[in-house]
Amino acid sequence: MQTTIEGIYRDGKIELLDVPAGVADETRVLVTFLAPEPGKVNLRSRSIDAHQAAELRARLGTIAADWDRPEMDGYDDHDNARHGPVALLSIEEYLSGHVGAFAVI
């Protein structure tokens, strides 16, 4: 019989997320380590339990709709975006475009 059970490797041990039915103690197993999924955070490794995670999701959910709007994409790569068309002008650049409006002392 082959059964796949998800688990987490922590401190040299594998913690099974489900208890397999009908598997005797000392049954041989093969363990495959999976690469972390991009964009996923292991909350347990950060000492965040299920209750805390639910509270965190609820609090962050209030901004998720705004954050996912297309016009917010510019914030994803802030360092490159700031050199684009929305770059801030230096004081000298700003003043040179407003001759007569300011006096440099």
- 2-55 confidence digits (pLDDT tens): 888 888 888 888 888 888 888 888 989 888 888 877 777 778 778 888 899 899
d(CA 78, CA 91): 21
DSSP notation for 66-101: HHTSGGGGGGTTHHHHTTTTTPPPPHHHHHHTTBTT
- 47-67 confidence digits (pLDDT tens): 888 899 899 888 888 787 777
pLDDT bracket for residue 102 (50, 70, 90): very low
